[in-house]
Structure 1
């Protein structure tokens, strides 16, 4: 044990705009590199951990997705945490932790929370994005009460505390202890092992291995880590645990700039995977995003929408050992996500929850024992094993289900087979999302104001356009059944008489400008046309959405940035 730590009080200035959203604070790297900027936000976060004692005596998990500025930020966090009398930091080796792995560590070690350094699926590098978010003791994102406290602190901060100490070698696993009067410990842990151990408890790895071996000629697997955090996790799970060849993992090295790519697992940004899956006729393709909480499932002849993916997992939950033990306590989706999982909930006789976008709403239900499986249309899928969405978990869930169903039938069941059978039983919710990224904020507000005016007048209700009759138009409001908090203005919904929907939202996941998201859903019953091309089916609704929003006229954008 060394002598008392040299705590220094550093005068600072207030920076405007440090308001964390659902996914924390996201800005360009150059913004975080400003003098005092990162330190201010970390100090404000520690002050907000508890309203009475701050972070004193707490244990926190720290890690991130490997993006540029990660290690610099962690060294600042270590020194500020020590000065604020945090008892212990648990840090992933080299600062690396996927968001799901961090959630698991918080829960495993019964930590008081975690500081996650990620901008999720946003690009990385010195000219791109960085982010910091705080997760609470249940392993999930901080609720608004805490993020509001962080923001209020950033608006009045006059100083932060920092210890004068050398940087810590984040590459060496083990513990280091500092200080005398207020002992401070930094433990560097393996980034992957604890997460892999958790997956072993959830899935039947022996069944999946046998399935992959038996059908190795006809069932090829390709996972794209997109040079994000999940490359090492994908290698440990797919190659080391499930005995797939190392060639089954592409872009598996975590890079600070994600290899110059955009680590968002969709048909646009995962174009390299999509091209290989189609040209090489890959039976099962999958990708995860920068911080590992999102996923995409694809085969050479089928793209699985995230809405359909969570419905499939829920429908076949009894194939997964974890749910054989726990049962299904309930199912949930974010409001913009298609209602495909609603049909599964009804068939299984379990509760269905429709919540705003943001994983914290699922977490409340999970903590109350009312929810098992949930998903968001933004490629996020998860369960109550942790309190974050989990990309690798979803990929393993699909493999476990395909292995189980194939074993039961004594023949190979493909992704397309599983989807067609699902539609034959439950019907199909054709779904797409149009993203218009980095739109001028004023123009984006004009679009939403126009729609809000139409909502207020209710002038569209009862009218028929493009073959669809308007039944309801509202702005989604949610009262949390657990903590009774109310979340208003969560997305403008238009519902038609056939249960099809158009939804408009402004997204807060970008670092600049505004992102307008349009969600389009058409419901087709089980005895209807369930095997058509989704974009063809949805084209009339897309045209209607653009017409009533005047998006092209108001923003000048003739094409979306991304279609999923």
Structure 2
């Protein structure tokens, strides 16, 4: 039986770059999750009788909201729901399922790389029929609906057993509980030369993959250990836990420090990697060398033709604006398109759908291709392994040869987390007020060439996205970028991106923060970060 339940709006349900993210107790408020899910359905048309994919990263409150979403999908007229066993679907796997089975769309329950637990983070986002995150016109409509919603529809039936694969029909809707790994693993076998990787591993190549007690554990276990033959134990922390084992599932040098320290040791494995809460980010570390996400994007694009799925070459490379320009030089050498978009994977969707780009990346450890419409952590790991297997060289050798051929982009991101929201907004507004006066200004040996607030003009749908980050570009190619992140749930996160291009191979061996020291000082001078935020140092440096 379907019920229509009266409700009242909540004023704080504006989706960010990746859906609605709040603390678990916020989502546990009466009708809070229901309001947002109904607002999604109310903002869509033509889904009667169609398929909806539902899954999440296994974090705390995942199962409860999945049950709500299934019952609401039935009451709103969907014909079928596909849900991962145990409520598990990595974000890239969910994108693949939507695309493979031509679903109308999907609801993904995740707060990505943010912590999980009873008082930590939770999230809901909607993905459209191409498998990618909903574009702004849909998220804007969802937010508008949340402000006036007065009821939601929900079917009254017992909770679905999410732990048994199979189909059943309830309230006129088919509920199909599927293996969350099988379809995704099969896709990876199509894209990559598993035989070459398997052979490399059989000859003693050692892998260490840290799943961070998050969603990629089952995927990495199946692919790396079972299908590719990596020894048992190569995949660590592979059981997805509601609180990620009390750790922060963000694959960076702070939260994956144990892996980093091991990879810098004398008896390090040949290849180290990690992925995040929902499986869309990656960390790549070779023996004795960390590969920045920006460099990883460039190197993967330059060598993608070594993998069967990309043997015909790639159409173009897209990167988020804060990501270093390393991939631009690869695109130039390959004679293909190069695109600079705002942060947020949804901005790559049009380029991928139009065939303009094949490989995309963000400096925040996200890399992917046209195989899905999300960034994909395991995909990046497998492409690296494919390249290593074909070239027969170490990660360090490949990185150093790339720098020699293209030049090195020294690059770092400084995050100031949990900054008072008013203080963060004030800092950005003050920067905007300085933009017109900065060009021509000298700071030591650095001269400002241009300064702007980045606006993106989509070449496909001609839409314009303004205020996407403040850029200070210096003569010679260096730059500093300031941006407020939309992925946190407490206060504001100020992100400062610092980049210097160095074409001289004799200067490629500097320590990154040392190479960027003068730019870091200029960033402080221009933005007055210390006095405006009350922070002497960043929370995280990557």
TM-score by length of 1: 0.95
Deviation at 1:435, TM superposition (A): 0.5
Aligned pair 1:276/2:262, yes or no? Answer: yes
Aligned pair 1:190/2:170, yes or no? Answer: no
* Distance in structure 1 (CA, Å) of the matches to 2:95 and 2:381: 18
Aligned pair 1:222/2:211, yes or no? Answer: no
Show the counterpart of 2:513.
Answer: 535
Show the counterpart of 1:144.
Answer: 136
Q: Secondary structure at the match of 2:251?
A: coil
Deviation at 1:277, TM superposition (A): 2.2
* Distance in structure 1 (CA, Å) of the matches to 2:317 and 2:129: 23
Show the counterpart of 2:440.
Answer: 462
Show the counterpart of 1:437.
Answer: 417
Q: Unmatched 5+ residue regions in structure 2?
A: none
Q: Secondary structure at the match of 2:176?
A: strand
Show the counterpart of 1:402.
Answer: 388
Provide Cα deviations, 1:363-417, integer angstroms capped at 9, x if missing partner: 10110111101100000000000000000000000000011111xxxxxx11110
Show the counterpart of 1:3.
Answer: none
Provide Cα deviations, 1:480-520, integer angstroms capped at 9, x if missing partner: 01111100010000111111110000011001210000000
Aligned pair 1:119/2:97, yes or no? Answer: no
Aligned pair 1:10/2:5, yes or no? Answer: yes
**Residue from 83, 88, 96 that aligns with 2:80:** 88
* Distance in structure 2 (CA, Å) of the matches to 1:318 and 1:394: 14
Show the counterpart of 2:466.
Answer: 488
Aligned pair 1:561/2:539, yes or no? Answer: yes
* Distance in structure 1 (CA, Å) of the matches to 2:381 and 2:113: 17
Deviation at 1:56, TM superposition (A): 2.2
Show the counterpart of 2:494.
Answer: 516
* Distance in structure 2 (CA, Å) of the matches to 1:527 and 1:268: 29
Show the counterpart of 1:310.
Answer: 297
Q: Secondary structure at the match of 1:559?
A: coil
Deviation at 1:360, TM superposition (A): 1.3
* Distance in structure 2 (CA, Å) of the matches to 1:291 and 1:253: 13
Deviation at 1:300, TM superposition (A): 3.4
Deviation at 1:163, TM superposition (A): 1.0
Show the counterpart of 1:409.
Answer: none
Deviation at 1:465, TM superposition (A): 1.1
Aligned pair 1:504/2:482, yes or no? Answer: yes
* Distance in structure 2 (CA, Å) of the matches to 1:36 and 1:295: 35
Deviation at 1:330, TM superposition (A): 0.8
Aligned counterparts, 1:311-326, within 5 A: 311-325=298-312
Aligned counterparts, 1:95-110, within 5 A: 95-110=87-102
| RMSD of equivalent CA atoms | 1.0
Q: Is the 8 A contact 1:332 1:353 kept in 2?
A: yes
Provide Cα deviations, 1:133-174, integer angstroms capped at 9, x if missing partner: 000000000001111111111111111011110000000101
* Distance in structure 1 (CA, Å) of the matches to 2:35 and 2:433: 40
Deviation at 1:276, TM superposition (A): 2.4
**Residue from 161, 164, 167 that aligns with 2:156:** 164
* Distance in structure 1 (CA, Å) of the matches to 2:307 and 2:43: 39
* Distance in structure 2 (CA, Å) of the matches to 1:62 and 1:286: 27
Provide Cα deviations, 1:301-349, integer angstroms capped at 9, x if missing partner: 1110000001000111111111114x21111110000000000000000
* Distance in structure 2 (CA, Å) of the matches to 1:57 and 1:156: 26
Provide Cα deviations, 1:74-127, integer angstroms capped at 9, x if missing partner: 010111111111111000001000000000000000001000000000000001
* Distance in structure 2 (CA, Å) of the matches to 1:467 and 1:45: 52
**Residue from 417, 421, 424 that aligns with 2:401:** 421
Deviation at 1:178, TM superposition (A): 2.1
Deviation at 1:212, TM superposition (A): 1.6
Q: Secondary structure at the match of 1:67?
A: coil
* Distance in structure 2 (CA, Å) of the matches to 1:118 and 1:46: 18
Q: Is the 8 A contact 1:425 1:526 kept in 2?
A: no
* Distance in structure 2 (CA, Å) of the matches to 1:402 and 1:447: 44
Q: Is the 8 A contact 2:480 2:497 kept in 1?
A: yes
Deviation at 1:428, TM superposition (A): 0.4
Q: Is the 8 A contact 2:287 2:395 kept in 1?
A: no
Deviation at 1:466, TM superposition (A): 3.4
Q: Is the 8 A contact 1:124 1:257 kept in 2?
A: yes
Q: Secondary structure at the match of 1:481?
A: coil
Show the counterpart of 1:35.
Answer: 30
* Distance in structure 2 (CA, Å) of the matches to 1:381 and 1:70: 25
Show the counterpart of 1:265.
Answer: 251
* Distance in structure 2 (CA, Å) of the matches to 1:340 and 1:376: 12
Show the counterpart of 2:201.
Answer: 212
Q: Is the 8 A contact 1:286 1:298 kept in 2?
A: yes
**Residue from 44, 60, 65 that aligns with 2:57:** 65
* Distance in structure 2 (CA, Å) of the matches to 1:367 and 1:225: 30
Aligned counterparts, 1:228-243, within 5 A: 228-243=214-229
Larger CA deviation: 536-545 vs 426-435: 536-545
Q: Unmatched 5+ residue regions in structure 1?
A: 1-5, 407-412
* Distance in structure 2 (CA, Å) of the matches to 1:351 and 1:396: 24
User: What is the number of equivalent residue pairs in this alignment?
Assistant: 541
* Distance in structure 2 (CA, Å) of the matches to 1:448 and 1:528: 37
Larger CA deviation: 185-194 vs 13-22: 13-22
Q: Secondary structure at the match of 1:400?
A: helix
Q: Is the 8 A contact 1:427 1:528 kept in 2?
A: no
Aligned pair 1:245/2:240, yes or no? Answer: no
Q: Is the 8 A contact 2:264 2:289 kept in 1?
A: no
**Residue from 260, 263, 272 that aligns with 1:285:** 272
* Distance in structure 1 (CA, Å) of the matches to 2:506 and 2:369: 31
* Distance in structure 2 (CA, Å) of the matches to 1:169 and 1:250: 28
Deviation at 1:463, TM superposition (A): 2.3
Q: Is the 8 A contact 1:420 1:531 kept in 2?
A: no
* Distance in structure 1 (CA, Å) of the matches to 2:224 and 2:60: 27
Show the counterpart of 1:548.
Answer: 526
Q: Is the 8 A contact 1:466 1:541 kept in 2?
A: no
Aligned pair 1:298/2:298, yes or no? Answer: no
